[in-house]
Amino acid sequence: MATRVDGTSAGEASGLAFARFCDALEGRAGGYPRGAIFVPSDAPYTQKTLLRALREGQPAVVVFPDGQERIVHGETRQEGGWLAGVRSRLAGRRRR
């Protein structure tokens, strides 16, 4: 099931993100990953929301004001995702 993140007003992308969320929720749109969050690119909380999604392994659909969208797949540490790789490299540098 799709989930919506935050109801704070933003720009034009907010309306598009909400419409796509509703379409996915009601089964009118396919192709979105199960449990994806829909995030407007121009919202004040976009960066924080995307980082949280990546950290928690949750897919996110970033919707832009011109109607384009990008699907970002988060990966957990157990899956060996890119975020886990970055953390391990940083930890290795701290030990030096």
Note the pLDDT of residue 30. 78
Note the pLDDT of residue 53. 87
Note the pLDDT of residue 23. 86
Token pair, residue 70, equals: 């990008």
Partners of 38 in beta bridges: 4, 61
The structural domains of the chain, with segments of one domain joined by +, span: 3-95
The bridge status of strand 69-72 relative to strand 60-63 is antiparallel
Q: Which residues of the chain have pLDDT under 70?
A: 1-10, 75-89, 93-96
Note the pLDDT of residue 86. 66
Partners of 70 in beta bridges: 62
The conformation of residue 27, written as its DSSP 8-state character, comes to T
Q: What is the CA radius of gyration of the chain?
A: 15
pTM of the model: 0.65
